[in-house]
Amino acid sequence: MSRPQLPLVMPAVPDQRWDCHSCTRCCRELVGDLRDEDRRKIDAENWADRLGVAPYVSVGRKWALNKRDDGACVFLLDDGRCRLHAELGFDAKPFACRVYPFTLTESDGKWLTAWRFDCPSIARSRGRDITVHRKMLNKFRPELPRRVSAGDETVELTRRRPTARGEIDALLDRLNTWLGDDTRSFADRMAGAASLVDTLRAANLSAVREQRFAELIDMLMTDLPAAVDEQSKAPPTSRQQAMFRQLVFAHTEHLTLGEIRSRLTRTTRRFRQLRRSRQFRRGVDRVPPLPGSDAKTTFAEVDRVLPAVDDAGEIVSIAGRFVRTRLLSRYQFGERYYGWPVLDGLGALWMSVAVLGWLARYFAAARRAECVTTPDVVHGLALVDGAIGRSASLGTTGERLRLEFLAREEGIARLLGHWRLVDPMRGTGPTQPTESST
Ligand code: SF4
């Protein structure tokens, strides 16, 4: 007997659009995991002989579509089309390719939907309104793996403090409202959100539950504008900066399929990683090459890059949609984010936004530009979104301790200064307040 289908929930993120524009980034940069059913379909069409190379390869205990020497999927045609799609139709493609850039996971008797910002059309909001794709996503439901989902009730708010009924909704609703208030600069909105979460993390919440927890948030929200004004505008300390640079390193340790399968031993890879990690911690001279760029750029040159002059509105829109998608789709805590408690996961999100700011400056410096532009932000966001929730190194205990350290002495708020990518003279809202540059 077939089981009843669960409803599909899409986060309500204003101004989010998407259609595939066939840029082929996903076919070149991502590793497409295969299910058993995908491999069966590929084998049935005898693709190994038709391509002349293995259509898929093992990666650890999984299988992935094979890549050519230039990094592109073996099914990618010269004209940018997928050969599986071109010859056999959309349904012949592996599930991961058909569903990208969406992700669907089960929680509390629903399919929670999110979308990935490493797709440039998502990042730049190009295409039809995102909700148009609900019909297509509904068709995937019979193919989605069902499992016993514990839901929100087992997620911790902070360590050893389970969430109580309605608490996650109460917190996310208030944060969403605050982050959507475009009468404030985006940097101030981020600083306020970080301040709220830091205050909650530092409080003893064991006896403050359900309705009282919601009332506490309301009280803190009333004071938030003043708290943002009073926040230290001091630059981060050198220790905070060193820890932050290591966080940048952790967000950019992206291995290609070639590197994963290369003959390099695990020890050699580890040695190279340690050397890069040390270079980031020291933060002097040249920045180790990052994915997508081997420019000879120094840390000092990255720090000298100025905020955007012309692209302020689009840059704020990209960052705002990214943060609200992560929040509203609940992809920032619990089983979708390394099993982390809610407040730890939100702290990690604010720091990922700070990392995005640094990376946008890096890519501007790498092309010898004075100011950040939208493509620099899109490039940085592809790395950030490809790493968070996916890279094992960002989910370690060491990473959580780093965040705890950075949350002290307003470290997160100070480091969010790296996000200040927008020229103070180019407003984004009707009453744009000051957006100072670092
Ligand atoms: S990255 Fe996005 S726009 Fe580009 S081909 Fe993939 S789905 Fe389409």
In the structure, which protein residues have their CB atom closer than 6 angstroms to any atom of ligand 1?
20-26, 100-101, 119-121
Ligand 1 mutation target, pool 19, 25, 126, most atoms within 8 A of CB:
25
Q: What is the pLDDT of residue 354?
A: 94
Sign of CA dihedral 322, 165, 103, 359: positive
- State the CB neighbour count (10 A cutoff) for residue 120: 18
- Reported as a single tens digit per residue, the pLDDT across 344-381 is 999 999 999 999 999 999 999 999 999 999 999 999 99
Rounded Cα–Cα distance for residues 361 and 369 (Å): 9
Q: What is the pLDDT of residue 170?
A: 96
**Average pLDDT for the chain:** 89
Query: What pLDDT, on a 0 to 100 scale, did the predictor assign at position 109?
Result: 84
Q: What is the pLDDT of residue 435?
A: 37
pLDDT at 123: 98
Index of the ligand 1 atom closest to the CA of residue 101 = 7
**Gap from CA of 32 to ligand 1 centroid (Å):** 13
Strand 56-59 to strand 128-129: parallel, antiparallel, or no bridges (unpaired)?
Answer: unpaired
389 CA from centroid of ligand 1 (Å): 20
**pLDDT (0 to 100) of residue 431:** 35
More confident site: 313 or 148: 313
pLDDT of residue 434: 33
Q: Which atom of ligand 1 is nearest to the CA of 100?
A: 7
- Angle CA(46)–CA(48)–CA(52) in degrees, nearest 5? 130
- 107 phi, psi to nearest 5 deg: -160, 130
Question: 146: CA distance to ligand 1 center in Å?
Answer: 27
* pLDDT over 90 (residue 256): no
Burial (CB count within 10 angstroms: exposed 0-12, middle 13-18, buried 19+), residue 425: exposed
Nearest CA to ligand 1 atom 7: 20
Q: Which atom of ligand 1 is nearest to the CA of 121?
A: 3
Residue 432 has pLDDT above 50, yes or no: no
The pLDDT > 90 percentage for the chain reads: 67
Q: Mean per-residue pLDDT for 305-316? A: 91
Residue 409 confidence (pLDDT): 80
**pTM above 0.75?**
yes
Answer yes or no: are the C-beta atoms of 372 and 360 closer than 8 Å: yes
What pLDDT sits at residue 208? 93
Is there a contact between 65 and 261 (Cβ–Cβ < 8 Å)? no
Residue 39: burial class (beta carbons within 10 Å; 0-12, 13-18, 19+): middle
The residue whose CA is least distant from atom 8 of ligand 1 is 20
CA angle 37, 42, 46 (to 5 degrees): 145
Structure tokens at 197: 């979460």
Taking the centre of ligand 1 as the mean of its atom positions, its distance from the CA of residue 120, in whole angstroms, is 7
Q: How far is the CA of 196 from the centre of ligand 1 (A)?
A: 36
pLDDT band at 419 (very low <50, low <70, confident <90, very high): confident
DSSP secondary structure code for residue 408 in this structure: G
What secondary structure letter does DSSP report for 102? E
Q: So where are the chain's domains?
A: 1-15+100-149, 31-94, 152-438
Residue 107: pLDDT band with limits 50, 70, 90:
confident
**Residue 430 binned pLDDT confidence (cut-offs 50, 70, 90):** very low
pLDDT of residue 265: 64
Q: How many angstroms is it from 363 CA to the middle of ligand 1?
A: 21
Residue scoring higher pLDDT (395 or 289): 395
Task: Judge whether residue 267 has pLDDT over 80.
Answer: no
pLDDT at 157 over 80: yes
Q: How far is the CA of 27 from the centre of ligand 1 (A)?
A: 8
Residues with Cβ within 8 Å of 324's Cβ and at least 6 positions away in sequence, in order, are 11, 13, 176, 179, 180
Asked whether the beta carbons of 102 and 137 are under 8 A apart, the reply is: yes
What is the rounded average pLDDT of the residues 293-315? 91
Q: Which atom of ligand 1 is nearest to the CA of 24?
A: 5
> pLDDT tens digit string along 187-232?
889 999 999 999 999 999 999 999 999 999 999 999 999 888 887 6
Residue 8: what are its φ and ψ, rounded to 5°?
-105, 130
**Which of 18, 19, 20 is the best mutation target for the ligand 1 pocket, counting ligand atoms within 8 Å of the beta carbon and taking the most?**
20
| Nearest alpha carbon, ligand 1 atom 6 | 26
